[in-house]
Structures are given as structure tokens and as C-alpha cells.
Structure 1
Amino acid sequence: YMDFGWFSARLDDLANFIPARICGLLIPVSSFLLGRGFSSSFRIMLRDHKKHASPNSGIPEAAMAGALGIRLGGDAWYGGILHKRPFMGETKREIAADMINSALVICIISSFLLMAIGIIISCR
């Protein structure tokens, strides 16, 4: 099982290499379009993405933390075992339920931006 799990995890890393980086660019742009600014999201992404155990997951997670002005990540429980993990982002605001909607709007705008880019490229 270990060899099979390792291979599938590396294949997942490879398959998501480019999408994670595209997402890491679209989140700051979406944040800018919403009036939240570009620089915080982009700066936090560049600074903190390597704190994540995954080579890809940290990129959009850190970008979203910067866009929302919060810290994401930290310690997590898996199978009853505490895993110590670093935070990404900075605490500029306390986490609140309305941030779920803000994050969702950023994701939707990012998706529309990617779709628009795809349409433009396909029309050439």
C-alpha cells in the first residue's frame, strides 16, 4: 500500500503543478477586483506557500489567507494524532463566518477569469 499511495500522491503533485500556480495568480487578481488589493495576497503566497507539506496546496491556501487578511493552517488532528503545522498568512482580522462567503466569491471570480482566459486563447 505504501508504494501505491506514494505513486498516486506524486502523480497528483504532478497533475496539479500548473493549476495550483494559475490559481495562485488568479486569487490575488480576484482580490484586487473586489477592492481588497493584490499585493497582500501575492506577497503572502510567495512568502508562505512552502510552509505547506504539499508542493501545490500551499500556493492557493497562502494566497487566500493573504486575500482575506487571516491566518490559515496550523495544527490539525488526523486519526487522533496532533500534527504540528505552521500558519500561513497574517492576522489582520479575526476569522468570522462571513469570510466563507468572501472566499467563495474570490473562488468564483477566479473561476470566471480562468474561463475568460480559456475562451480568449481558444478563439485565436
Structure 2
Amino acid sequence: MPLRLAVTAAGLITGFAADTLFGDPRRAHPVALFGTASAAVERRLWADSKPRGAVYAALCAGAATGLGLVAQAATRRRPFARFALTAASTWVVLGGRGLAAEGQEMARLLEAGDVPAARARLSHLCARDATELDSAELTRAATESIAENTSDAVVAPLLWGAVAGIPGLLGYRALNTLDAMVGYRSPRHRNFGWAAARADDVVNLLPSRAGAVLTAACAPLAGGWARASWKAWRRDGARHPSPNAGQVEAAFAGALDLRLGGTNSYGGEVERRGTLGDGRAPEPADLRRAVRLSRAVGVGALAVAAVVAR
């Protein structure tokens, strides 16, 4: 096996372990710094224009990817440095521990009946308007967000790191962050954020489907059913308006015997989604099962990434 590929696999595994043990860096998180810099660029470049938005996305994501390319080139003959930078990059782009912690906290608040606190906390998981959501809708929103973010924050970066090394890790995370910042169909970002949203859709096409397959494979580890997960994914994955989010959300719904989907509001924009799964409406305890499934899928994605990198 070529040394550089073994180094990449080792870096991915070490970075995953760091995220599992320590979570996100507490100070000067590189993703937060990227977001701050991208927001400053947006203030200078914004116009209600798809071409201007495409330039914005290319500049911001290109800068992150270029930084990765420089790091990759600089460590071409320095395997330990390549390993260390791959591990550090993996650590900062993954969000598995943080996602699990948010899911557990939402479960705790909802089990305690603290709906106002749960409404405020939901913003840590997604941009959905929680002002009028009751306990049942908050539980659904959190369960769907855990499923979607398992793909976005764990499966996809690991797979991109496996196939493209440090540039893949940094470039993917940059695009995903831009999508979270400007990819929503608000009046301000409907045109300007179009390129970032479409680019994020493209880079997640394969990872989201890999995440759905891994969800079905890991379903028994969360007390679920692989066959039901596979069935729900194949039947319902395309009902979601996103080409990617519905894949893993449907797989989670089938795995946990839940019914997801419905009507959501984002910044005044109402989005109607199809029904995902045949089960019952999720309850707060199901959030803990979703977290267990998310963690199992993350480990499965790491195993796949390590094999691909080899």
C-alpha cells in the first residue's frame, strides 16, 4: 500500500478519534473563522444576482480548497506532517460529538417538558422557525436534523477526505458552511445563495446515499430494522425537496420505525415535505435512539473512508 494513502487513512482515524473525545475546538474554531471571513466577503459582494453569488462561492470555497492544496503539496515528502495536518483537518471539519450532544440536550429538555428552552435550543441544530412549534414538532425537527447532519457533518467530510485528502476535507466543509450561511431561499439569498446551495447539493449526492446505506446497515445497533430502513429510503428518499437530505432522513425514519416529514418554516418561507417512513410520530426518547444510530453510522463511515483511502 502506498505510504501516502496509509498516512491519509491514519489521519482520518486520528481526527475522528479527536472529535469523538474532545468535540469541536473551544477557541478560534477554524470553521467559525471561515464563516466570519465569508460573511465579510458577502457584505462586499452581495447583490441580488446569481452570477455575483457564484463568484462569492468560488472565492470562499476556492480559498479553503487552495489552502488544502498548499498543505498537501508542502507535505508530499513529509509523511508525519501529512498525517498531522490530515488529522487536524479531520478534527476541525467533523461535527459528530457536537451533533450527539445537541441531540441529547434536546431530548433532555423535551422529556422535562421545557418547550420554551427546546425552541431556543433547536437553533443549534437547524435554521427552522421554532416560535410556534410544540413538543411533537420540536422532536420531529430535531430527529430530522440529526439524520441530515449525520450525513453533512460526518459521512460526507470523511468520504471527501478519503478521496481527496486535505483539500477534500477543507473544500467540502467550506461549501457546506456556505450553504448554511446563504443557501436558504430567503429574499436576500434566493439568487445570491443559489450557486452555493447547488454546489453543496452536488458534493453531497454520493455521500448522502452512502449515509443512507450505512444507516440501514447500522439500524440494529440502535434497536432498529435494516430492512425497514432500506425500504423507506428507496421509496421515500426522493419525496424530500432536497436531493440529499431526504435520503438519510428516510433511512433514519425506517430504521427507527418513525414517521418524519411535514410542513416546515424557514425565515418566513414555508416548505412542504413528503411523508418519510411508515411508523409513529417521534417522541423525545427517540432522539436518544437517533443519536445512537448517528454515532454508529459515523463509525461505519470511518471504516469505509479508511478502506477507500488505502
Shorter chain as denominator, the TM-score bin is 0.7 to 0.9
From 87, 98, 103, the counterpart of 2:290: 103
How far does the alpha carbon of each residue in 1:39-71 deviate from its partner, in whole angstroms, 9 at most, with x for none? Answer: 100100000011111111110000001011111
Gaps of 5+ in 1: none
Number of residues of Structure 1 aligned to a counterpart in Structure 2: 122
Higher strand share: 1
Q: Which position in structure 2 is the counterpart of 1:71?
A: 259
In the alignment, structure 2 segments of 5+ residues that lack a partner are 1-47, 54-192
For 1:95 and 1:6, how far apart are their aligned partners in 2? 32
1:28–1:2 CA distance, 2 compared to 1 (3 A): farther
Q: Max radius of gyration: which structure?
A: 2
Provide the rounded CA distance (Å) in 1 between the counterparts of 2:226 and 2:258: 15
TM-score, scaled relative to structure 1: 0.87
Match of 1:55 among 240, 243, 248: 243
- Per-residue CA deviations over 1:14-42 (Å, capped at 9, x if unaligned) read 11111101101000111034452211001
SS in 2 for 1:88: coil
In the aligned structure 2, how far is the partner of 1:119 from the partner of 1:11? Answer: 25
Aligned to 1:118: 305
Q: How far apart, in 1, do the equivalents of 2:307 and 2:272 lie?
A: 44
1:12-91 paired onto structure 2 within 5 Å? 12-91=200-279
Identity of aligned residues (%): 32
User: Match of 1:54, SS?
Assistant: coil
Structure 2 residue identity aligned to 1:18? L
How big is the shift at 1:90?
A: 1.0
1:8 partnered with 2:210: no
Q: Cα offset for 1:87?
A: 1.4
For 1:105 and 1:113, the matched residues in 2 are separated by 12
RMSD of aligned alpha carbons? 1.7
